[in-house]
């Protein structure tokens, strides 16, 4: 079972540049969360702060009673064992074949025998659909395969928390869908807590249990998927529906002139909320809520056509 990550009042600047301030949210144990936001809003900085690679000026990141933001190096080393991380480019060693890349954390951090290492590596390679590619070098395979190899490597130490930075960058929509399915199946199998940073609106709409969005140096919203997909909040509505009308412009925020030019323009209606993607087993994951449950519990009427199986992006 994954562990909860509780973020309280987190603030980070580089010099005089505030990246984001007063960010508070909880990644619930075992759930899949997605963090969205226009380019440059500090999503990668947020991931790095969660594993203590970047120190915030203020705030806390609580994991099993340890505050990553203020703990000692020794405590940090211990807590980091709970994490698996997939960086944007897969961060593979170019001169090592995939087998050795995936085996690397086991050889570095454990005293396991080579035969134990082999069985773990092959198990994870199978989970991400890479059996048969063990001898290939990272430069000889596609971007999608590199991401899956990175995922296999992030899993070998059985992490309780998995951080994934832009799994879809550079992938076509079909490969993105495959990778999403792999992550959902892994969440079902291991129950780790997932945080996925993405720009892909379809991924954000169909994969996670919760969605957050960083915008304009703060956390604009964080909550259950159905809450954000039914939200009328302009920034959330514009981003999750990939629309041009709204407060977000090319340079993050539109200026007064741009906003005035849009005054009176009618916003398109909210599109239907798709069904959340299921694991390959076809059963709900342990932390997955039935379609429409959040809306019913909160008296929210979802947009017409919501939760019908034929919605684009749903299975």
Ligand X SMILES: Nc1ncnc2c1ncn2[C@@H]1O[C@H](COP(=O)(O)OP(=O)(O)OP(=O)(O)O)[C@@H](O)[C@H]1O
Residues that bind ligand X (CB under 6 A): 14, 19, 37, 39-45
Query: Could you tell me which of 314, 239, 310, 303 has the C-alpha nearest to residue 276?
Result: 314
Closest CB to ligand X among 86 and 103? 86
Closest CB to ligand X among 14 and 77? 14
Report, in Å, the least distance between residue 119 CB and ligand X. 36
Report, in Å, the least distance between residue 19 CB and ligand X. 5
Query: Could you tell me which of 40, 41, 46 has the C-alpha nearest to residue 23?
Result: 46
Determine the Cα angle at 237 with ends 231 and 241, to 5°: 125
Report, in Å, the least distance between residue 34 CB and ligand X. 13
Report, in Å, the least distance between residue 251 CB and ligand X. 12
Report, in Å, the least distance between residue 16 CB and ligand X. 11
- The DSSP secondary structure of 61-117, one letter per residue, reads EEETTEETTT--HHHHHHHHTTEEEE-TT----TTS-HHHHHHHHHHHH----HHHH
Give the long-range contacts of residues 287-292, CB within 8 A, separation 24 or more: 287/28, 287/30, 287/31, 287/32, 287/191, 287/209, 288/209, 289/209, 289/224, 292/226
Closest CB to ligand X among 41 and 176? 41
Closest CB to ligand X among 28 and 37? 37
φ, ψ of residue 155 in degrees (nearest 5): -95, -15
Closest CB to ligand X among 46 and 294? 46
Closest CB to ligand X among 43 and 80? 43
Query: Could you tell me which of 174, 106, 107, 103 has the C-alpha nearest to residue 143?
Result: 174
Report, in Å, the least distance between residue 170 CB and ligand X. 12
State the helix-helix crossing angle for 114-127 and 143-155, rounded to 10 degrees: 130
Distance in angstroms (rounded) separating the CA atoms of residues 154 and 187: 13
Closest CB to ligand X among 45 and 154? 45
Distance in angstroms (rounded) separating the CA atoms of residues 80 and 243: 38
Report, in Å, the least distance between residue 9 CB and ligand X. 19
């Amino acid at each position: 079972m994954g562990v909860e990550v509780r973020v309280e009042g987190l603030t980070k600047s580089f010099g005089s540049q505030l990246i984001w301030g007063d960010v508070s949210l909880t990644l619930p144990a075992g759930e899949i969360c997605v963090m969205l936001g226009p380019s440059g809003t500090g999503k990668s900085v947020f991931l790095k702060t969660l594993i203590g690679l970047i120190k915030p000026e203020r705030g806390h990141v609580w994991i099993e009673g340890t505050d990553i933001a203020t703990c000692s190096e020794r405590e940090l080393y211990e807590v980091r064992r709970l994490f698996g991380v997939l960086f944007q480019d897969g961060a593979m060693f170019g001169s090592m074949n995939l087998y050795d890349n995936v085996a690397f954390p086991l050889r570095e951090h454990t005293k396991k025998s080579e035969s134990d290492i082999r069985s773990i590596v092959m198990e994870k390679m199978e989970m991400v659909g890479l059996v048969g590619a063990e001898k290939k070098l990272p430069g000889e395979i596609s971007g999608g395969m590199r991401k899956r190899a990175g995922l296999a490597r992030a899993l070998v130490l059985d992490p309780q928390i998995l951080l994934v930075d832009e799994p879809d960058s550079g992938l076509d929509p079909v490969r993105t869908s495959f990778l999403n399915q792999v992550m959902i199946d892994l969440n079902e199998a291991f129950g780790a807590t997932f945080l996925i940073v993405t720009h892909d609106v379809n991924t954000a709409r169909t994969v996670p249990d919760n969605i957050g969005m960083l915008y304009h140096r703060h956390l604009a919203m964080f909550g259950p998927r159905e809450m954000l997909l039914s939200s009328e909040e302009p920034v959330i509505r514009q981003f999750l529906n990939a629309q041009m009308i709204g407060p977000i412009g090319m340079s993050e925020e539109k200026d007064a002139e741009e906003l005035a030019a849009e005054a009176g323009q009618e916003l398109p209606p909210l599109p239907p909320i798709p069904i959340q993607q299921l694991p390959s087993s076809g059963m709900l994951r342990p932390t997955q809520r039935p379609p429409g449950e959040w809306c019913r519990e909160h008296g929210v009427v979802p947009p017409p056509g919501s939760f019908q199986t034929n919605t684009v992006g749903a299975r």
